[in-house]
Structure 1
Amino acid sequence: MTERPHTDVAVIMRCERIDHRWQVWRWSLAEVLQHDPAFGTQPRRLPDDARGQRWLFPGFLVELFRDDAEGYYLNLCSPAPCWFVLWRPDEDPGADGVALARPVQVSLSYHDAGRWLDAQETVEQLPAAPEVLQVLRAFVAAHYRPEPRRRKRPDSFRALHDRFGNPAPVPTQGQGGGAGGDDHA
């Protein structure tokens, strides 16, 4: 079995107090870091800073799959290649009345992010570090092959439609004037 290229990362989520009528707290993605064994394996609250609470979520494995090379390619071609993080709020609020926001998955693929967004998930992005992008570029160079362009079919082969979008009948005989038509005098 061949091992896929991968990296272990940790995610830091930030909870900020906001001045809003219906929402007092707002969660956002703060950082994606290379995993360090000192992070441990369990989520934990970091010391608060001037902007609010911060939570560390270690232990995310980000693998690169050959069949998703196009998704990585699209990320690299964007103006700011990035990490995509899918996160969900906990159902129950904690002791301080704030429901914890938990990262669920981390990816470098546009295709993954698109699927998550299509499923109405919360997805945020942060720029990826240069060393991560270097590995991603090498992977894409080795595995991405653009699909060959298909020949465009001439318009003369397109089906005819009337002004309402219904298939239009095409008479093949008897409309006069042309070769093979029935001539009635």
Structure 2
Amino acid sequence: MVQRPSIEVAVVMRRVRQASPWQPWRWELADVVAQEPGFGSEPRLLLREGDDERWLYPGFTVELFRDEAEGYYLNATTPAPAWFVLWRLEDEKPKPEIVTLSYNEAARWLDAQETVEQVPAPAEVIEWMRTFAEEHYVPEPRRRKRPDSFKGLQDRFGNPVTITTEKK
């Protein structure tokens, strides 16, 4: 089995009060933190103050994959590199599913209509990701676009067209 670079993290979700009679509160991503042995393996309540709640969801492994190197490169070169967390709402509680650093992977999740939020990643994680991306990312060579004046002419059916200046 191939050993990939990885780190263990935990996700912190926050319940926030809203001024809406239809939905009095909502869940949002609060933070992604390094996993610690004291976190355990089950979600647990960290804080409850009025309507504000914070829950810790431990036990996520963030692996770096060679075929996602472009996504790590894009994330590392943005002004605000971030963690991306895909989460779903189950029984009125958030359930984080996956944590990644790949910009492309997060974009695919968003295209699939999933709930994806981001929070800033710490400098040491960004440097770890940047080093991996620089080692494995190979930009595709740019292809020169041929000017339209060199393209062959076609009629509306796709057949080649010839132009002459001679009179018929």
With normalisation by structure 2, the TM-score equals 0.90
Measure how far apart 1:172 and its partner are: 2.8
CA contact (8 A) 1:81 1:127 kept: yes
Match of 2:75 in 1: 75
Match of 1:118 in 2: 111
Which amino acid in the other structure matches residue 143 of structure 1?
H
- Counting matched residue pairs gives 168
CA change 1:151–1:52 in 2 (3 A) is same
Measure how far apart 1:145 and its partner are: 1.2
CA distance in 1, matches of 2:48, 2:80: 29
Q: Which runs of 5+ in 2 are unaligned?
A: none
CA distances 1:152-184 after superposition (whole Å, capped 9, x unpaired):
12313446578xxx45765437x552xxxxx65
Match of 1:52 in 2: 52
CA distance in 1, matches of 2:17, 2:51: 8
1:28 matched to 2:21? The reply is no
Which amino acid in the other structure matches residue 39 of structure 2?
F
CA distance in 2, matches of 1:149, 1:101: 43
Which amino acid in the other structure matches residue 24 of structure 2?
V
1:145 matched to 2:135? The reply is no
Q: Secondary structure at the match of 2:105?
A: helix
CA contact (8 A) 1:160 1:167 kept: no
Q: Secondary structure at the match of 2:53?
A: strand
1:100 matched to 2:93? The reply is yes
Which amino acid in the other structure matches residue 13 of structure 1?
M
CA change 1:171–1:102 in 2 (3 A) is closer
CA distance in 2, matches of 1:25, 1:100: 11
CA contact (8 A) 1:16 1:52 kept: yes
CA change 1:123–1:156 in 2 (3 A) is same
Compare CA radii of gyration and give the structure with the larger one. Answer: 1
CA distances 1:125-155 after superposition (whole Å, capped 9, x unpaired):
0000011011111101111111111121231
Q: Aligned residues: percent identity?
A: 55
CA change 1:172–1:47 in 2 (3 A) is closer
CA distance in 1, matches of 2:161, 2:132: 56
CA change 1:149–1:39 in 2 (3 A) is same
Q: Secondary structure at the match of 1:141?
A: helix
